[in-house]
Amino acid sequence: MKNESQAPIRELKTDHHDISQEMTQSVSADDILPEDLPGIDIKSALQRMGDNKVLYKKLLIRFYEQYGNSAQQIRNYLELSEFELARQLSHTVKGIAGNLAINKVYHSAMALETKLRNGDVEEAESLADKFETALEPVTEGLLNLYRKAQADDQLDKTGECEENVSCEIVFSKIKPLFDKLGVLLKENNLEAEQCLEALRKELQGTEAASIIRELKNQIDLFDFDEARKTYKKLKKILEKA
């Protein structure tokens, strides 16, 4: 029988063997997930991800970094009557929380998004409180994971150009790899992250580094819609260079 409380996810493609092999090369005891995290169905999420605990931990940390303060952001939007921005953010959090099996947050974000789409502002303000109540224990539980993730973004912080330095890019050299990345993004394929890492090494020390970092964050959070937009932005930069 279908579990009504479990959030649905978009169809994702991944080669669990390849991704697991890459991401577990330096696994230590600190990479093991706790058995329980408030508001998160870890068992269900791991089943979706081929029991890849390292990948799942990384995605949870990304969620904390990007959307741990989303309840306050939504409240700020409502106070400023920026209802469409509030709806967009609740929609984004809904999708990501669903993918990561953060089920109460998923359901509360979905209810909030629906009210905002229908223009029911007064009810939306009440649901914003419920969303915050659902999100708070999740962020508290993820805080320790976040604090232990000092090395997670190490690669992301390298490869920046010095200020006012123009870096040359030979687009023809990286075009096959870049085209492959585009195909993987169209397929919602998590192998795009491995392809992007190879591309990052080729573009290290160029003005494209910040776009690479943005694209990586979007892939990490399954946000393939935004990733495809960022890919187009990156393509313009590379073609111009």
Residues 15-73: tens digit of each pLDDT = 444 433 444 433 443 446 888 899 999 999 988 888 888 888 888 988 998 899 999 99
Does the reported pTM lie above 0.75? Answer: no
- Which conformational region is residue 101 in: left (phi greater than 0), alpha (psi within -120 to 50 degrees), or beta? left
Radius of gyration of the chain (CA): 19
| Whether residue 136 has pLDDT greater than 80 | yes
CATH 1.20.120 fits 35-147, yes or no: yes
What average pLDDT score do residues 100-129 get? Answer: 93
Q: Phi and psi (nearest 5°) for 124?
A: -60, -40
Per-residue confidence band for 6, with pLDDT thresholds at 50, 70 and 90? low
User: What is the residue extent of each domain of the chain?
Assistant: 35-147, 155-240
Q: Look at residue 68 and give its three-state secondary structure.
A: coil
The mean predicted confidence, pLDDT, of the chain is: 79
| Whether residue 78 has pLDDT greater than 70 | yes
Give the per-residue pLDDT at 159. 42
Q: At what angle do helices 171-186 and 224-240 cross, to 10 degrees?
A: 170
What average pLDDT score do residues 121-142 get? Answer: 93
Residues 171-207: tens digit of each pLDDT = 677 888 899 999 999 988 878 888 888 888 888 767 7
**Which amino acid would we find at residue 105?**
V
Q: What percent of the chain is modeled with pLDDT above 70?
A: 76
Give the per-residue pLDDT at 180. 92
**Which amino acid would we find at residue 145?**
L
What average pLDDT score do residues 157-182 get? Answer: 63
Q: At what angle do helices 83-99 and 103-117 cross, to 10 degrees?
A: 150
Least confident span in 109-118, 144-153, 190-199? 144-153
